């Protein structure tokens, strides 16, 4: 009976049983936010203007970039505390994790390289770097762990990198100044948010070429894919542009908060979560009605650039 009640309760409220990890860049903290209760469960101090975030394959560890502290903070998400750190040169901003090997990739915003880090029993170790275009920013890894994609903001291109050889195999021209980069669930298509040309580029990863673009609001930043649609934060328009990732047609523009930046979808695909840097809040968007269903207050300057829903 108890089990039955448990199941009923679970069926009744599964949608937001998930945590958002908010990098409050001006607040110098990473906040663990419970999406169901809309409460900050824990604020973890992280200095150095934390911005980018990625999670280990088992979702128990967060890696957070500290571009002004020049390094990475490692957070144990069960204990909700910083357990390690690693100094890096340049401007570590974009970050991604290999879903198979757990290898961590960090883009140097001021350079033309991605650092390769490996988690070990003694902590995170730097194991080399991979050459990319200028100002690498958004990072994604295909589900098979074999291919790394990097948006090169100043080179107007995407680097397609063979993980095994740590070498760029192709460079795909896209729109002007790509920042966020998101892969489809099957890893076949990538999408970049081009902040200067105000559009999204679609890329066929295997073919190594751009297949089309869709216009967005001003300063598109990061993309989430959910319920067969694409969602892009428009930093300057204070909107999320919704598009069809196949036909590349614009479907809607949803008003959110000031300077929306990080965006990601919940596990169940029903809610898109947006970090609004300007007004210190998360917006929750229902992916079927395309309306904002709630907001959650955060610390100062939430960015959550990366994989921030646990």
Partner 1 sequence: MKFRTLAAVAALATVTFAAQAHGPTRQKVSESIEINAPADKVWAIVGNFQDGSWIPVVEKTEGKGGNEPKATRTLTLKGGATVEEELSKYDAEKKSLMYRIEKVDVKVLPVNDYSSWVEVEGDGTKSKLTWRGAFYRGYMNNDPPPELNDEAAKKAVSGLYKSGLENVKAKAEKGS
Residue numbers at the binding site for partner 1 (CB under 8 A): 25-26, 49, 51, 67-68, 70, 90-91, 93, 109-110, 134-135, 153-154, 177, 196, 218, 236, 259, 277-278, 300-301
Least CB distance to partner 1 at residue 134 (A) = 8
Least CB distance to partner 1 at residue 278 (A) = 6
Q: Which is nearer to partner 1, 40 or 49 (CB)?
A: 49
Q: Which is nearer to partner 1, 135 or 298 (CB)?
A: 135
Q: Which residues are bridge partners to 291 per DSSP?
A: 286
Give pairs for 80-83: CB < 8 Å, separation 24+.
80/32, 80/41, 80/42, 80/44, 81/44, 82/44, 82/45, 82/46
Least CB distance to partner 1 at residue 90 (A) = 7
Contact, 167 vs 130, CB < 8 A? yes
Tokens representing 169?
């195999």
Instruction: Give the integer Cα–Cα distance in Å for 231 and 219.
Output: 14
- Measured from the Cβ of residue 309, the count of other Cβ atoms closer than 10 Å reads 23
Q: Which is nearer to partner 1, 15 or 131 (CB)?
A: 131
Name the strands in the sheet holding 157-162, side by side, starting at the edge strand that comes first in the sequence.
136-141, 147-152, 157-162, 167-173
Least CB distance to partner 1 at residue 197 (A) = 10
Least CB distance to partner 1 at residue 236 (A) = 7
Least CB distance to partner 1 at residue 259 (A) = 6
Q: Which is nearer to partner 1, 276 or 283 (CB)?
A: 276
- Measured from the Cβ of residue 119, the count of other Cβ atoms closer than 10 Å reads 18
In three-state secondary structure terms, 231 is: strand
Q: Which is nearer to partner 1, 119 or 299 (CB)?
A: 299
Q: Which is nearer to partner 1, 119 or 136 (CB)?
A: 136
């Amino acid at each position: 009976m108890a089990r039955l009640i448990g199941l009923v309760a679970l069926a009744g409220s599964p949608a937001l049983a998930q945590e958002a990890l908010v990098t409050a860049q001006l607040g110098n903290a990473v906040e663990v936010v419970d999406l169901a209760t809309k409460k900050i469960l824990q604020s973890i101090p992280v200095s150095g203007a934390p911005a980018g975030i990625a999670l280990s394959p088992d979702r128990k560890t967060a890696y957070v970039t500290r571009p002004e502290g020049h390094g990475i903070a490692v957070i144990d998400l069960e204990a909700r505390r910083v357990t390690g750190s690693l100094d890096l040169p340049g401007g570590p901003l974009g970050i991604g994790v290999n879903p198979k090997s757990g290898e961590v990739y960090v883009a140097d915003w001021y350079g033309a390289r991605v650092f390769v880090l490996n988690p070990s029993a003694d902590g995170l170790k730097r194991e080399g770097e991979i050459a990319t275009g200028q100002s690498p920013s958004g990072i994604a890894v295909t589900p098979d762990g074999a291919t790394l994609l990097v948006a090169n903001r100043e080179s107007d291109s995407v680097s397609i990198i063979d993980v095994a050889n740590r070498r760029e195999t192709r460079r795909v021209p896209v729109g002007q100044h790509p920042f966020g980069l998101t892969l489809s669930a099957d890893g076949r298509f990538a999408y970049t948010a081009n902040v200067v040309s105000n559009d999204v580029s679609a890329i066929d990863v295997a073919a190594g070429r751009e297949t089309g673009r869709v216009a967005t609001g001003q300063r598109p930043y990061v993309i989430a894919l959910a319920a067969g649609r694409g969602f892009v934060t428009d930093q300057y328009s204070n909107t999320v542009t919704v598009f069809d990732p196949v036909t590349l047609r614009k479907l809607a523009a949803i008003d959110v908060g000031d300077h929306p930046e990080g965006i990601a979808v919940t596990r169940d695909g029903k809610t898109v979560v947006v970090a609004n840097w300007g007004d210190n809040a998360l917006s929750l968007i229902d992916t079927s009605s395309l309306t904002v269903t709630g907001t959650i207050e955060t610390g100062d300057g939430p960015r959550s650039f990366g994989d921030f829903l646990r």
